[in-house]
């Protein structure tokens, strides 16, 4: 065997030794079958709509739309205002409420143009493409309110597509 074959074979063996376990770990870490419920997110110009279906409780679904809550600056800083403490251009009329420590399957798509469902504090950024469904699996252990917005240049009002995920603990009754 000549020296050139060794120089070609050695990097190939190294790459295959890294790729093999990586693919095994990648496919074993993602399991969509045991999710607590599924959230279908649809990007519209310029709001998000959500459809929640339970995978383990019943076949009922909850549908709602989440629009930007247009609040003037003086209402945000006025202590007597109902909007005190809200975030300007990040507050929405309806939050997506998720349950902590439960596996959740997300299906992301768009109804019109390219959007991007992004919540940086949770490490989420998924493209919403018309005619295609992208998925991701979330098992959040962090409790709180997380803000995001569309991070794709989807048109004139793309900066006004905020996302608010509220992760709450499951109450045992």
* Contact between 101 and 141 (Cβ < 8 Å): yes
Do 18 and 82 fall into the same domain?
A: no
Q: Give the separation between CA 83 and CA 37, rounded to whole angstroms.
A: 31
Do 24 and 37 fall into the same domain?
A: no
**Mean pLDDT: which of 46-55, 105-114, 132-141 is highest?**
105-114
Do 14 and 86 fall into the same domain?
A: no
Element (H, E) at 128: strand 124-128
Q: Give the separation between CA 103 and CA 37, rounded to whole angstroms.
A: 7
Q: Which of 128-137, 142-151, 154-163 has the lowest mean pLDDT?
A: 154-163
DSSP-assigned beta bridge partners for residue 61: 53
Mean pLDDT value across residues 76-101: 67
Do 156 and 96 fall into the same domain?
A: yes
Mean pLDDT value across residues 85-91: 63
Q: Which of 4-18, 32-46, 66-80, 141-155 has the lowest mean pLDDT?
A: 66-80
The pLDDT tens digits of the residues spanning 23-71 come to: 887 776 665 567 788 899 999 988 899 999 876 566 678 898 888 776 5
Does residue 173 lie in a domain region?
A: no
Domain of 49: which CATH number?
A: 2.60.40.420
Do 75 and 18 fall into the same domain?
A: no
pLDDT of residue 79: 47
Do 82 and 17 fall into the same domain?
A: no
Do 21 and 77 fall into the same domain?
A: no
Domain of residue 100: give its range: 31-168
The number of domains in the chain is 2
Do 70 and 59 fall into the same domain?
A: yes
Residue 128 has pLDDT above 70, yes or no: yes
Half-sphere exposure of residue 149: CA atoms within 13 angstroms, side-chain side: 19
The pLDDT > 70 percentage for the chain reads 79
Do 9 and 76 fall into the same domain?
A: no
**pTM for this prediction:** 0.71
């Amino acid at each position: 065997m000549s020296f050139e074959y060794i120089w070609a074979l050695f990097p190939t063996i190294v790459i295959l030794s890294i790729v093999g376990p990586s693919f095994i770990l990648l496919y074993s870490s993602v399991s969509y079958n045991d999710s607590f419920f599924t959230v279908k997110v649809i990007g519209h110009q310029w709001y998000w709509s959500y459809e929640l279906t339970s995978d383990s409780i019943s076949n009922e679904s909850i549908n709602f739309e989440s629009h930007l809550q247009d609040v003037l600056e003086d209402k945000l800083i006025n202590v007597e205002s109902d909007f005190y403490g809200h975030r300007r251009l990040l507050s929405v009329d309806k939050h997506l409420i998720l349950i902590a420590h439960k596996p959740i399957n997300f299906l992301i798509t768009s109804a019109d143009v390219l959007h991007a469902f992004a919540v940086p504090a949770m490490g989420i950024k998924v493209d919403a493409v018309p005619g295609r469904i992208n998925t991701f699996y979330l098992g959040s252990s962090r409790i709180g309110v997380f803000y995001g917005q569309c991070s794709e240049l989807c048109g004139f009002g793309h900066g006004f597509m905020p996302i608010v995920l509220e992760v709450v603990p499951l109450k045992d009754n």
